[in-house]
Structure 1
Amino acid sequence: MEYKMLVSKLRRLFLACVSLLVMTPAMAQLSFTEIEESADWDKALNAAEANELLLFVDIYTDWCHWCKVQDESTFSVPAVSEAFEGNYLALKLDAETDFGETFLETYPVEGYPTMMFIDPAGALVKTLVGYHDVNKLMAELADLGNASGALGRLAELKGKVESGDEMTRAEEQELLLLAADFDQTEDFQFMANNFIKETAEADWQQADMMKILLAYTIDLDAAGFPFIRDQKDLIVGQVGMPAYESFIEEMFNEQMYAAITQGNPAIMERIIQELLPLYLDDPAQLPEGAFTTRKIYAAALEDWVLYEETLSNYEDEIEVEDECLYHYNEAYSLFDDSESESAYAFCYEYLKPCLEDQEDADFLILAAYIQGARGLYDEADVHLEAGRKLDLSEEQEEFLDELAGLIAQAREE
């Protein structure tokens, strides 16, 4: 058992304490307009259109450490302010306000800080995720400046689509590539599916065609997925194994999100059957990969009946010899990965049959740890005392003492 890791996690559960030192900048700060309601956003779009500017939206939360660091170390630099002057309308948006939550329904984020470049029509041009120092942000601004002509061309081609004008295949290819460059693939998914279906196999040797394939194969039903599934060697030869694995990982995450949010086990099973074999080269790893995927799905839904059924099926599949050790490992794994009361309760109930007359202190320590995290301190103490009666290693004794101290401290809070 990784005792130091357990202690660290318990401290986080019982003794959360965060401090942040903020330095006041001496240099000129980039001037932002705070967006607090829909009227502010409409006003900003109108101002951007009137002045032919792109909107730069810095999306933050009050608890985001790197958002504050970026304010102090990046947006305070005069060169950054100068780069924005006459090119961008700088806005700030608190993601956790009422309007912030509404905004994120249209413009989702993966973390904070997130910065978005949006055109006056409201189309997302580019997204930057995470902290950017001065050099990194200036490089992004330079790339965006170089792309201004491409944005104009994209708008021109989009206009042809919207007006219903007939487009050549070359124009469709250009449009799909430009939309991929500016994170606007969602608007052209139907066109991309038809374009991919009509592409001859020999044409996939071209880099631009491969870019379209990967940019628009967003789920298992996309027109490009059969090619990605069946032509792994060709794709790896074009983009390299790291890029291919990253693509499969992203698709796995997106499809798992869809399965979980829709509560759709059929999507999850398709992931196991069609995606996992692309990522796990060794067929021997597939049973464990399928097991892990099903656990992720059940845990995310907090469907503990399904979770226990998944554990039981795999226990039979691999013919477990030591049932209690299996229960211990699975309870520990779920508890370490979870932060919900229902998960903790399941972990304890799953471990409980193995606690009676248990002579391995690790089981009792884990039980005490789980109940302590649930605030059931009396039950945690019972398991700690039972553990003390056993023959303990020096490390186990040290951990028991520290755990008991933390529980005692938590009682007083």
Structure 2
Amino acid sequence: MNTNSVNQSSVLSQSEGSKQNYVLPFILIVCLFFLWGMAHNLDSILIPHLKKACQLNNRQSTLIDTSIFLAYFLMAIPAGMMLRKFGYKASMIIGLLVFAMGAFLFIPAANTLSYSIFLIALFIIGCGLTVLETAANPYAAILGKPEGATTRLNLAASFNGLAAMVAPIIGANFILSGKEYTAAQLADMPKSEKMSYLFSEAAAVKTPYLVLGIIVILVAVLFYFIHFPEIKPSKEEKAKTGFFAVLKHRHLRWAVIAQFFYVGAQVCVTSFFIRMAQQGAGLDEKSAAYYLTIYGFLFMAGRFVGTFFLKYTTPRKLLSLYAVLAALMCLLAVTTQGIFVIYALGIIGFLMSIMFPTIFSLGITNLGEETKPGSSWLIMSIVGGAILPYLMGTVIDYNGDNIQIGYLIPFFCFIIILFFGWKRSEVGVKS
């Protein structure tokens, strides 16, 4: 891949072009990657937890994913317009404030045991995250030498991986109770005892999301007072670029497709991780959550290792190799039992680690003045996280609650990612 023109038409002002001016802004951008990583990885805890608290089936529980990722699709174009109008810094502050609003809404949702309010809260969080990612991903790519764009994105995304390790620890200790009852046991409970149990389960989410919302507000205040290097559009970029016109670039079109299936695969793997560990490896709820922490550690480690490997190979080759291995691990997860299921899921986490930033960087390569609409398309493609987990939940429900068979969905996703990396990520091909 040639990253020399990730956004050649956007330039830092000459007075701010020195390397030292990039360090603090880049650190703050890294904080955003961590925060939205926390939001997404707490979903892996929320799905089994709210399934229990709100008495849901698998398909209903995946509406958690649908709510947050549908926001990416609906908000991507408005977020791109906001980015054009207000710039990177203001857009990121707006995204943080919306994110916090959704987190605070978890309190009335828990108090009323209302799954609908939980879903609204998650949708609002998703809207905030859409604005954040639309601004922060290209800003991280642009903030420095063009040839280092993929490396910077993978480095920043490594802290998204750190969140994948931290969130399950928080979930295991502050959200999951370890108390599980069968449908028959709940039916035999006195109504008052049953409702007390369900409200207690729902209330467990209030403190973590209240704290998360406060932290997000504090980060927004910090962003307001910190100076960010100004990224000025070139003369060419000042001309409005058609939102659909950018799809004339084949590598972007296929990056959008690949990102759709990548996000869908990641959300499928993590959303059903706890139940997969319970069913396939025979673990209890809390033990499964701690293994999810190990999964998060491997995801984080994969980001750092992948960033290192990118010094010696091209992003498209590394992406293709990881996609092949991830597909094989999915098959292993489907066909084995016991601890081998956990091993397969952990390796999938390691392999998925570099996929989002690598696909993103490959997609916006050489777009120049069209980088912003191209970024919006790539953010819109995150809607795969809304659709594919629901499909996976449907497959599981129609196969007698067989979690393992559902992992064929991410298997097919990785095959499509392989096709993009190996055959459709070249820049400048018109067909």
Structures share a fold, TM > 0.5? no
Tell which structure's C-alpha radius of gyration is larger.
1
Q: Which structure carries more relative contact order (alpha carbon 8 Å, separation 6+)?
A: 2
Point out the structure with the larger strand share. 1
Normalising by the smaller structure, the TM-score range is under 0.3
Point out the structure with the larger helix share. 2
